[in-house]
Each structure stands twice: as structure tokens, then as C-alpha cells.
Amino acid sequence: MLILGIESSCDETGVALVEAAGDAMPRLVSHALHSQTAMHAAYGGVVPELASRDHIRRVLPLTQAVLSESGRELAEVDTVAFTRGPGLAGALLVGAGVACALAAALGKPVLGVHHLEGHLLSPFLSEDPPEFPFVALLVSGGHTQLMRVSGVGRYELLGETIDDAAGEAFDKCAKLMGLPYPGGPWLAKLAAEGDPAAFRLPRPLLHNGDLDFSFAGLKTAVLTQARKLGDALESRKADLAASTQAAIVEVLLKKSLRALDGAGLDRLVVAGGVGANLELRRQLNAECASRGIRVHYPELHLCTDNGAMIAMAAAMRLQANVESASERYAFDVRPRWPLDALQAPAL
């Protein structure tokens, strides 16, 4: 079974082919990606209308690139998968429209995939895939969630952010330090040269006993600190970046460990763009190794948005019989769509 996956929920256009045979783990055949970050950088953030227009320009050439790289024909595709949500409505409609048009022309079915389920299952594309059940820390630009994952489509929300997501905190703090968009990777790079203990920043909700997060207060504290520094900010920027990253990483680390304790599990999966943060990985690896906990990540280049995770999530849903692909080419996207609304039927 050959699955073509199309991702277009935000500012990356991703296309991939994944092949599934029998019960074996589906494998990535090829993928291609175009990032719009350079285009949006001039505006300091994603401009939805420009994002949609660029997806339109990129999606078919990327599809052709994926097919020619793999030596496969479009007619060999069995199912066309696309990101149905959550994301920017116009951007989602591009992927959904193209997926439905290709599938209708081929006489093949489509499958709309939840973007966060794509992130969640992306570690199954790695050399060292996890086994169910596990605790997942989903840390993307728009979401910060801890989930108990007992199988494909079996997701229980344990805690989430009550305001900003971790990626958003990285991006907003980077912006007020004058770093380019998207701020997360820039802030992380600068942090490597700074002292994480230089500024004492708040660790919101760290000791409240539950698994929820809050990062809006951290952003305010960083803004206050930057204002206090005034002209001295330039020379202390690396220290402020390192202290900001340390605050975010400590909260993510401690809440993940608490979730594992509470769920009685010894396997953690980290997914989403912030999962590319090397300091987060370093601290999680060290802490989990000392407690006998296995941690799984997607490969670094598959942490941020891509088509491979969408094709993979579709393949795993089909393989697990959680859903079947449909020939109703309705491209009804869902810009807002909670992941735990995806519940598979009870066993």
C-alpha cells in the first residue's frame, strides 16, 4: 500500500510517500519539503494569505520531485493523505484541495490526518521506533500537551498549556530579544553561548501538582528583564537566551517525569518542533537514563512540520483499522481540532 502524504497546515509545504505492507512498520520511501520561513521572516511571523499562495505554488512540484526521486508513478498511489487540521484554514484548504483532486483523478480514496497525530507518530519513522504504551510530550508552535498513548488513535490528554505553547514562548521571547523569525532555533543557538543561571526566571505551574503548563508569565518576565537591561541587553543577550531556555526546558522535563510517574510508564516520546531543541534532548536523555526510562524522538529533520509524518499517520491508522480512507472528496478541513477528539472505537 503506497500512501502519498501532503502537509500544508502552516508555513512548510511537505510531500512524502510511505509504503505499508502487511503488519510490518510502514517505511518512508521519499519526502520533499519547502519551508516558507524566509518569506515570512520579513513580517516577523506567518502571514496566512502568503502561506496559502506559496503552498499552491509548491505542492505539485514537490509531489513530482517525490515521485521522480522514488522512481514511482502517481498511478501506483493507493491513498492520498492530507493534513485536515488543526492549522490555518486557507493553508489547509490548499493541501486538502490538491489531495482530493489527485485522488479523484486517480479514482483512489483520501484520508484527512490530524496534524498533531502526525507529530505524535513521527518517531515511528526513526531507526528506533517506540512501542505502545507511552507518554508523549507534544511540543509544537501551537501546542504543548502531555498525552497517554496506548495505541494508534488511543490518546488520553493528561495536561496542556493554559496559555502560550512552549514553541510560542521560544518564539515570543526571541522576538523581544530582537532575534529573527522563527525565534526558537535562533534563541537555542544563542543560548549555547550563555549562562543558564544568569537570570532567575519563573518556572510557571512547576509545583502545582498537575500536568498543565503556562508560559505567558515567562514571556512577561523576559520582557521586564530586557527592559531593565536597556542598552546592556545586547551584551547580555546570550545569558538571557540561556536563562529563558533553561526555564522552558526545566518545566517540560519535570512535568514529563511527573506524567510518566503518574501513568506508571517507562517510555517517553517527544514530538513537535521544540523536540528539535538539543538542550531539551540533553536533559531529558540524562534524567531518563538515570531512571531507566526510554526516550524516543523523531529524527531531527522530521521534528518540524513535514509530509512524511502525515503519510505515516495515515498508514498507521489504515494498518490498525482505526479508520478507512474515503472516496468522499469533501475537503472539509478543521482549523481547530483537539487531538483527543480522535478517539478510536473502544476495543
Which residue lies nearer to ligand KG4 by CB, 58 or 119?
Answer: 119
- Which of 6, 173, 181 is closest to 87 using CA atoms? 6
Instruction: State yes or no: residue 168 binds Zn ion (CB under 5 A).
Output: no
Angle at which helices 183-191 and 166-176 cross, to 10°: 70
Site for Zn ion in 125-164 (CB under 5 A): 140
| 54 touches 39 (CB < 8 A) | yes
**Site for ligand KG4 (CB under 6 A): which residue of 7, 19, 171, 239?**
171
* Closer of 40 and 267 to ligand KG4 (Cβ): 40
* Among 46-54, 66-74, 268-276, 314-322, the segment contacting ligand KG4 (CB under 6 A): 268-276
Does residue 250 contact residue 204 with C-beta atoms inside 8 Å?
A: no
Of 138-167, which residues contact ligand KG4 (CB under 6 A)?
140-142, 167
Contact between 11 and Zn ion per CB under 5 A: no
284 is a site residue for ligand KG4 (CB under 6 A): no
- Residues 6 or more apart whose CB falls under 8 angstroms from that of 295 comprise 267, 268, 269, 270, 284, 285, 288
> Is 90 an interacting residue with respect to ligand KG4 (CB under 6 A)?
no
One of 82, 134, 155, 170 touching ligand KG4 (CB under 6 A): 170
Distance, in Å, from the CA atom of 330 to the CA atom of 210, rounded to the nearest integer, reads 40
Q: How far apart are the C-alpha atoms of 184 and 164, rounded to whole Å? A: 14
According to DSSP, residue 272 is labeled S
Q: C-beta of 184: minimal distance to ligand KG4 in Å?
A: 2
Sequence-ordered list of residues with C-beta below 8 angstroms from that of 228, at least 6 positions apart, any chain: none
Provide φ and ψ at 91, rounded to 5°: -65, -40
Largest CA distance in the chain: 63
Nearest alpha-carbon partner for 234 in 190, 201, 279, 168 = 190
Runs of H (alpha helix) within 83-215: 89-106, 115-121, 166-176, 183-191
- Over the window 22 to 51, marking each residue x when it contacts ligand KG4 by CB under 6 A and - when it does not, the resulting string is ------------------------------
Tell me whether residue 10 or residue 316 sits nearer to ligand KG4 (CB atom): 10
Q: How far out from the chain centre does Cα 226 lie?
A: 29
CA angle 192, 193, 197 (to 5 degrees): 85
Closest distance of CB 335 from Zn ion, Å: 14
State the binding string over 115-134 for ligand KG4 (x if CB under 6 A, else -). ----x---------------
For the CB of residue 225, give the shortest distance to ligand KG4 in the complex, in Å: 19
Q: CB-wise, 13 or 140, nearer to ligand KG4?
A: 140
Residue 24 DSSP class? S
Answer yes or no: are the C-beta atoms of 280 and 270 closer than 8 Å: yes
In this chain, which of 7, 160, 212, 305 binds ligand KG4, going by CB under 6 A? 305
**Which DSSP helix (H) or strand (E) runs through 287?**
helix 278-291
The size of the interface with ligand KG4 (CB under 6 A), counted in residues, is 20
Q: Which of 85, 273, 298, 307 binds ligand KG4 (CB under 6 A)?
A: 273
Does 239 interact with Zn ion (rule: CB under 5 A)? no
Closer to ligand KG4 at the Cβ: 20 or 240?
240
Q: CB nearer to ligand KG4: give 95 or 167.
A: 167
- Separation CA 191–CA 185 (nearest Å): 10
Strand partners, 146: 137, 159
8 belongs to the binding site for Zn ion (CB under 5 A): no
- List contacts with Zn ion (CB under 5 A): 140, 305
* Residues forming the site for ligand KG4 (CB under 6 A): 10, 119, 140-142, 167, 170-171, 182-185, 188, 272-274, 276-277, 304-305
